[in-house]
Every structure is written in structure tokens, then in C-alpha cells.
Amino acid sequence: MHQDGWSALAEARFARNKVHNSSASLATPNRTQSIYLLQAGYAMGCCGKTVIEPAVRVTRIDLDGDTPESLSYGKVDYGNSGMQYELGANWYLKGNNHKVSLDFIHWQAEAGTGPDVQAARANIIRVQHQLYF
């Protein structure tokens, strides 16, 4: 959605992985996966013909349903289940054809199984340049 400089996005993704394995000892349970994302930004003119767009995003990632986290690690696009919070800005230098993004991301994973297992955390700074031609 875009309205008077404001932009918003809400997204939900669902998948069900069905595992077919003839060996009971290697069986992996079926998994239901879900990802929920909310994003908002505001584009404003800056420095002549360029546009700056501060934005925030919150993402809830559940890639394993009730399955222990260690079974799906490293096999999916998002890494592991958890919460991801992003704060950033996009600088549009020539419309959508030339964009520079700077984001700070805080990611908090679900805890794995076991009494001494801690949830993983990461703070990430991402700089990205997109050039369309």
C-alpha cells in the first residue's frame, strides 16, 4: 500500500513439509512453517531529486512448528525460527533505478531443546546497493 508518502506491507507465508521416508529410524516429522511480516515506511524528498525513506519491519519466523529447532537449522531461507526487528532507511538517488539501503537488524532465535540451551541472538548492520538498468 502506498498513500501520500506512506508505505505499508503485511505478509503471511505458510508451508507444510511432508516427509516420506521408508526407514522409521530416519523419519523426520512433518512440519508446518509460517512467516508473518509487518513493514511501514515514509518517503520524503531530500537533496534535490533524491528521496529518503525511513522504514521499520517486524518479522515472526516459525519454520518448525513444535519440532526442536536443531532439525531445521541451515536448511531454509531465513535461518532459524525467531523474531526479527529491522530499522533502516532507503535512499533513492534516481527513482527506483538507483537505491542505497542501510539497515540495523536485531534477530532473536527460538531456544532449542534442553535445560542449558540458550536462544541465539544477532545484531546485523546491512548496507545494500541496488542498480537497475
User: What is the model's pTM?
Assistant: 0.73
Q: In this predicted structure, what is the pLDDT of residue 16?
A: 80
Q: Residue 98: phi, psi to the nearest 5?
A: -150, 105
Q: At residue 21, does pLDDT exceed 70?
A: no
First CA to last CA across the chain, in angstroms? 25
User: What percent of the chain shows pLDDT beyond 90?
Assistant: 39
Chain segment 54-69, per-residue pLDDT in tens: 999 999 988 776 665 5
Chain segment 82-121, per-residue pLDDT in tens: 899 999 999 999 877 899 999 999 988 876 666 666 667 8
Give burial (CB, 10 Å; 0-12/13-18/19+) of 80: buried
Assign 75 a pLDDT band (cuts: 50, 70, 90). Answer: very low
Provide CB contacts within 8 A for 21, sequence distance 6+: 27, 28
| Residue 76 to residue 84: CA distance in whole angstroms | 16
Give me the residue spans of the domains in the chain.
Answer: 2-17+28-131
Q: Nine-digit cell at 17?
A: 513439509
Q: Residue 85: phi, psi to the nearest 5?
A: -120, 130
Place of cell 531465513: 78
How does the average pLDDT of the chain come out, rounded?
A: 80
Of 94, 104, 103, 9, residue with least CA distance to 51: 94
Q: In this predicted structure, what is the pLDDT of residue 28?
A: 55
